[in-house]
Amino acid sequence: MNAENGYTIGLPPVASSYGSDIDALMLLMHVVMVAIFVIWGVYFVYCLVKYRAKDGERGVYHQAGENASFIPDGIILVFEIWLILAFGIPMWVSIKQQTPPPEESLEIVLVAEQFAWNFQYPGADRKFGRRDVKLVSASNAIGLDATDPAAKDDVVTVNNLHVPMNKPVILRMTSKDVIHDFQVTNFRNKQDILPGQMTMLWFEPTVPGKYEIACAQLCGLGHTKMIGNVFVDSQQDWDKWFQEELEYKTADAGTTGSDEAAVVSRQGSGDEKQETVL
């Protein structure tokens, strides 16, 4: 398991609340898969050796155990029904169909585009400022309406997501252009991001540090470069960071993002509008 040489085997370190449950399920499944393969493979090799052709002998015409052959099918079916009822539906409901209570969580809007991630934080009023496609410009990537009172304490960052530890984060996501997908391997979750529609992904970070966001849905020429960072800090550090962002915003009204380097890199990788004629 040497991470230096590029030949690692296994799962990357887990950093979200439900991540260890998913890892346990992955382990269970792979143990069962290997067990089935090994039992089955041993019998296969036994047959290959034992029943190789011998001169003058004939095969067995009458088959025994036609009904018994349904036993492995039955065992697999029972195992799968148990998996669905014990883990499949409950875990799916808690991770995907429900969110933690919004009042105890940090809600963030994510507007994805070729090839950048724009995060909108609602600020103390917990209200997101209005977005309008007509207001989108080079300096206003998400089309935030500055005249909306709810937008006053909103902060927008590009490619860098800052979240406090041990607090659920609910991402309300949409795309400006094509389909993208928010993936952080350490959180064990991903979700497609669609234009014209909101999708949701929540996670509760449990380990401080920096994690990589990667786009997992082919989105054009810069797909590979559509990466970002999640910074998981303590609540105090996060509060301090957010206050600085707010002050920065008021001091330098006119630019929305504080991550200058990220803005520059994004402008460098814009996908040219392609002709659609035959």
Partner 1 sequence: MTDSHGHGGGHGHGHGAPQSFWRAYIFSVDHKVIGIQYLITSLLFLLIGFLMAVLIRYQLSTPAPGDDFNPENLGLIRGMLAGIFGENNMPYGFMAPEFYNQLGAMHGTIMIFLGVVPLGVAAFGNYVLPLQIGADDMAFPRLNMMSYWVYFVGGIVMLASFMAPGGAAQSGWTSYAPLSVAAPAGQTWWLIGMVIIITSSLFGAINFVVTTLNLRAKGMTLGRMPVFVWAQLVTAVLLLIAFPVLEAGALLQLLDRVAGTSFYIPKDMMYGGAVFPAAGGGNPLLWQHLFWFLAHPEVYVLLLPAMGIVAEIIATNTRKPLFGYKELVGSMILIGALSFVVWAHHMFVSGMRTSLANLFVTTTLTISVPSVAILTCLLLSLRGGQIRYNTPMLFALAFLPMFGIGGLTGLPLGFAPTDLYLHDTYYVIGHFHYVVAPGSLVALMGATYYWFPKMFGRRMNETLGKVHFWATVIPMNFIFFPMLIQGMWGMQRRLADPTLQWHNMDVQGWSTVILWGAAVMMLGQIPFLFNFFWSIWNGEKVGENPWDATTLEWACPSPPPHGNFAAPPEVFRGPYEYSVPGHPSDYWPQDEAA
Footprint of partner 1 on residues 94-133 (CB under 8 A)? 95-97, 113-114, 133
Among 162, 176, 249, 266, binds partner 1 (CB under 8 A): 176
Tokens of 276: 């659609």
Show contacts with partner 1 in window 227-246 (CB under 8 A).
227
Among 135, 165, 178, 207, binds partner 1 (CB under 8 A): 178
Q: What is the dihedral of CA 43, 44, 50, 54, to 10 degrees?
A: 160
Q: Is 150 in the site for partner 1 (CB under 8 A)?
A: no
Choosing from 103, 236, 264, 274, the residue that interacts with partner 1 (CB under 8 A) is: 274
The number of beta carbons lying within 10 Å of the beta carbon of residue 71 is: 10
User: Site for partner 1 (CB under 8 A): which residue of 5, 253, 254, 268?
Assistant: 5
Kindly identify the residues of this chain, within the stretch 18-47, that bind partner 1 according to CB under 8 A.
Answer: 21-22, 25-26, 29-30, 33, 36-37, 40-41, 43-44, 47
**C-alpha dihedral, 262 to 172 to 102 to 107, nearest 10°:** 10
Tokens of residue 271, six digits: 């996908």
Report which secondary-structure segment, H or E, holds 215: strand 209-215
Q: Which two tokens stand for residue 265?
A: 């890199």
Instruction: Map the footprint of partner 1 across residues 57-96, applying CB under 8 A.
Output: 57-61, 63, 65-66, 69-70, 72-73, 76-77, 80-81, 83-84, 87-89, 91-93, 95-96
Residue of 172, 214, 258, 259 interacting with partner 1 (CB under 8 A): 214
Determine how β-strand 155-158 pairs with β-strand 116-121. Answer: antiparallel
* Range in contact with partner 1 (rule: CB under 8 A) among 2-10, 99-107, 235-243, 249-257: 2-10
Q: Is 153 in contact with 124 (CB distance < 8 Å)?
A: yes
Q: Within a 10 A sphere around the Cβ of 108, how many other Cβ atoms?
A: 20
Pick from 20, 42, 147, 177 the residue near partner 1 by CB under 8 A. Answer: 177
